[in-house]
Structure 1
Amino acid sequence: MSYLFDSIHSNQSVVAVNDILSGKESGRTAFESAVFDFIRLWLKGTTTFTQRTSGSTGAPKEITITRNQMIASAGRTLKAVGIAEGDPALVCLHPDYIAGKMMLVRALAFNLKIYLAEPSSDPLQNLSDDFEHGFAAFVPVQLQNMLAIPQRINQLNRMKAVLLGGAPVSETLAKKISSLQCPVYATYGMTETVSNIALQKLNGPAAQEKFFTTLPQISVSTDERGCLVIHLPGADAPVKTNDVAELVSKTSFRIRGRWDHVINSGGIKINPEELEQQAEAILQAKGIDRPFLIGSLPHEKLGEQPVLIMEGEPLGPEAEAELIEDLKQQLKRHEAPRQIRYLTQFFYTASGKLNRPEILKGIR
């Protein structure tokens, strides 16, 4: 299989593609080794790949995805965000995950110039100076960290397009993104759909549309639980998710939260992810800037009751009482957490998402 470029940039070094193919270059880090292994498989024409799912459609499992599925997905995304042959592509997500693997597929199948940067909180830190007008995919925490550094903002503004996925984008981060000049897109997708199937523009005029729009030839519906069902071209069956969705049309939707995270309090179903968006503004107004989530604790009469869980040391008694009162005043009566629990350190998944089940175990 051919690739337009005879070398790639990796952590400020230049590596010949032929040396990767021959095995002469095996990688200096675990990340490089994983990337080089995938490049080798792809350029030798491998037609199927095994990938572990994250649990978006059920229990995590290994599935097989095909080369043709990956090429089709890559092409849809690149067309949607205006990336063309010869453009630079930054790969700073590990290829063990579908997001990192698909950045490599987009580059290899559509001849983008590959730049590798070790996955970190600041992947632009050691990027080659000639990376301009390029394309990148980040997780939200990476972009949030970089937006605190003026030099990184300048680098981001010279990019042609940025994809953001793997975790929800907070309102605080969305406000910061709105001032960037480069187009930034939130993505929706999963391993089962071979990466993203829908995009939401986070800055510019289109940012006013607070919903995802599917890529061409993809449509959506909901099942009896109100969860999103994805209809992909050429697929044997629709992909059923555990994400509770509000349909705007057959090609646009909003995600309200996970069906398996719903809190049933006195017969009223509460989506904690929606509640977290509202609570974030309340915490920010009080100068509280730390990881948190909404969970639940058993309640004798209601079955479950929402609880606010924060990372770090407990607030003082007065500050905690004030926060609980603010939550009661600004949220619906049955949704407002009446208690705050604390964990010294939150649990995270290997891909950097908050590990909600483990955090909830830690407070019960």
Structure 2
Amino acid sequence: MPEKGLFLNFDFYPWTKLKNYQGDVSVLQFCRDWLLGMDAFMRYSSGSTGTPKAISIHRKQMLASVAATAKILKPSSTDQILLNLNPDTIGGTMSLVRAMEWGLNIHVFPADGNPMIPLDHIHPFTLCSLVPLQLHDILKDPESIAKLNQFRVVLLGGAAIDHALFAAIQELRPIVYHTYGMTETCSHIALRQLNGEEKQERFHPLEGVSLRLAEDRTLLIDAPMAIHTSLKTNDLARIYSDQSFEIIGRLDRTLISGGVKMQLDELEALFSPLFPDLSFFLYGLEDARLGQKMVLVLESEPFSTPELEKKLKELAPAYKAPKAIIFAPRFERTLTGKTDRINTIRKWAKTN
């Protein structure tokens, strides 16, 4: 049987020989350290809501994640993994660990917008992880869609799924799972199948994961892949009797404007049908009269907005409608592809 290993820049590194790697390429150094049995690794949170935090994750937690994921994905010896996320993020790191633990080939490509472009028309890849931004780019190109349709499973994570993207996913051949997790849980602790005959309405936790709500309605996680017990998140959630759950917002995205408390994530979900082809977010800016005012930020060159303002007010009461519309030609994004709201606003403020 041919040796399995990692492909990088047209070079092949068999798993059996990577233990002896002496170079300075970080992805190969990580694989060497893993194969040598290192126990702890440092990774960083995404930084989408603030400064990225250094987090120490341990081998037993990563192995628990790999084992629980295998029960869902059912990898076989013929699977091949395409890695098109930054290997230093938790999503990229765990793709590497799965490949090593499952004894599969993994091909490392640059974390570009459309990872299908460099692939051959007929390719061997069956498993990959994407962020929604990458999938949006793939879906713009029929040739890229044809390449994606050769995969068996796609893990989609790092951000929410809008209505337009969900509808497009229904036409794809591979099973697409929306993932829920974070660096502190060694990637996902729950999956939601988005398409196919067994598609799901909500996230379902992996085996061994237990969930409950804190007093402030945020999700508490007990899981073998988490860095500690009763891991408290900032995600506001609703849990059902079968332990399935849905995320309804974030605690740190609650805005108080004119004495009215508003959950920005809920309003973004309400407004999302208006923006099938535009990235957007809601943000709170300081305001002398209201304390904070909600603004709508669009990734676009400026355009006339009276019709848009009318539609926004039809969807929400006037006090929950954006008080201004901001145009940013290009959003800042984190290494994991999430919209970096804080730095996008900072960049906009410097030029306005």
Contact 1:12 1:126 in 2 (8 A): no
Higher relative contact order by CA 8 Å / sep ≥ 6: 1 or 2? 2
Shift of 1:299: 4.3
In 1, distance between residues paired with 2:110 and 2:312?
40
In 2, distance between residues paired with 1:282 and 1:6?
47
In 2, distance between residues paired with 1:234 and 1:321?
49
Q: 1:109 aligns with which of 101, 113, 120?
A: 101
Q: Indicate the residue corresponding to 2:117 in structure 1.
A: 125
Contact 1:78 1:84 in 2 (8 A): no
Q: 2:6 aligns with which of 5, 8, 20?
A: 8
Contact 1:56 1:190 in 2 (8 A): no
1:237 aligns with 2:229: yes
1:176-325 → structure 2 map (5 Å cutoff): 176-207=168-199, 209-233=200-224, 236-249=228-241, 251-284=243-276, 289-316=277-304, 320-325=305-310
Per-residue CA distance 1:78-119 (angstroms, 9 max, x = gap): 211222344211112122110000000011012122222221
Shift of 1:156: 1.8
| One-letter amino acid of the counterpart of residue 232, structure 1 | A
Contact 1:51 1:64 in 2 (8 A): yes
Shift of the 185–9 alpha-carbon distance from structure 1 to 2, 3 Å rule, reads: same
Secondary structure of the residue aligned to 2:101 is helix
- List runs of 5+ in structure 2 lacking aligned partners: none
In 2, distance between residues paired with 1:255 and 1:295?
19
Q: Indicate the residue corresponding to 1:356 in structure 2.
A: 341
Shift of 1:352: 2.1
In 2, distance between residues paired with 1:101 and 1:308?
34
In 1, distance between residues paired with 2:240 and 2:344?
33
Identity, % of aligned pairs? Answer: 35
Q: TM-score, normalised by structure 2?
A: 0.89
Shift of the 151–311 alpha-carbon distance from structure 1 to 2, 3 Å rule, reads: closer
Runs (4+) of structure 1 exceeding 6 A deviation are 56-59
In 1, distance between residues paired with 2:137 and 2:48?
26
- In angstroms, what is the RMSD of aligned CA positions? 2.6
1:163 aligns with 2:155: yes
1:345 aligns with 2:301: no
Shift of 1:17: 4.2
Shift of the 18–127 alpha-carbon distance from structure 1 to 2, 3 Å rule, reads: farther
- List runs of 5+ in structure 1 lacking aligned partners: 28-32
| One-letter amino acid of the counterpart of residue 297, structure 2 | I
Shift of 1:41: 0.9
In 2, distance between residues paired with 1:6 and 1:343?
45
In 1, distance between residues paired with 2:111 and 2:57?
24
In 2, distance between residues paired with 1:118 and 1:226?
38
